Amino acid sequence: MNPDIKDITEDRRSGSSRIVEKALRYLENLDRDEQIEAAKQIAMAHPGMAGLVNIMRLIETHDARVIQRRICEMNEKAGQKLAELVKGKKVVTISRSHIVERGLHTARKVFVLRSEPGGEGIDACEFLREMVKSELVWDAEMGYVVMKSDVVACGADGISKDGFVNKVGTLPLALTARYLNRPFYVVAPSYKAGRLKVVEPFEFIPAELATLVTEDGITEWSDVS
């Protein structure tokens, strides 16, 4: 079933890549003038999602179907790169990223933080249990599960040369991973690069705390553009 505009603008539980996919499916059924107007509404509803804002701006000059194919390819490749990095390992993740979920099927086990406020981790864990051993844990158990794991991974709503924006709780998770000497991967296709805007309930995480994984694999933060 195709989403409607309200389903997209009021979605506060899906990851940005899923919202992008829903938006493009919705836009492809509109005429050009309607596409442009709807794209503006969607971008205004999610100002903190740099990738979504970038893509909605592209609608003014590009066909939605062409953009959709390219975005799907980039999401798939980024997920595959993560799958290579976490194969056979125990992983901790936070919030909900559909790109990250695609890559975690090769993990040995996934600990999913509840990600309050909002509890997006509940949905993520339910989805992941269909393909990999997964356990839902309280946010306060962050240190305990990172200590038990090999890798930490999450998605991002926007990236820049300086770092990324993601759900609140990601910064303490990154600091915990650094303290316990665990790799921290943030998975984000390059279309999510742009000027970052932090709105509640999101926060900024400095680049020095994470390793960036794009559709090209591990990527230097200095190459983000």
Neighbours of 225 (CB within 10 A): 8
Q: Could you give the C-alpha distances from 11 to 23, 120, 147, in angstroms and in order?
A: 11, 11, 33
Instruction: Report the candidate in 201, 123, 134, 132 with the shortest Cα–Cα distance to residue 168.
Output: 201
Token pair 């993740």: residue:
93
Residue with tokens 């949905």: 123
Closest CA relative to residue 141, chosen from 116, 161, 163: 116
Q: How far is CA 36 from CA 30, 42, 118, 119, in A?
A: 9, 10, 30, 33
Q: pTM of the prediction? A: 0.86
Residuewise pLDDT in 10s, the chain (225 residues) = 567 899 999 988 787 888 988 898 899 888 888 999 999 999 999 888 888 888 898 888 888 888 989 999 999 999 999 999 999 999 999 999 999 999 999 999 999 999 999 999 999 999 999 999 999 999 999 999 999 999 999 999 999 999 999 999 999 999 999 999 999 999 999 999 988 989 999 999 999 999 999 999 999 999 998
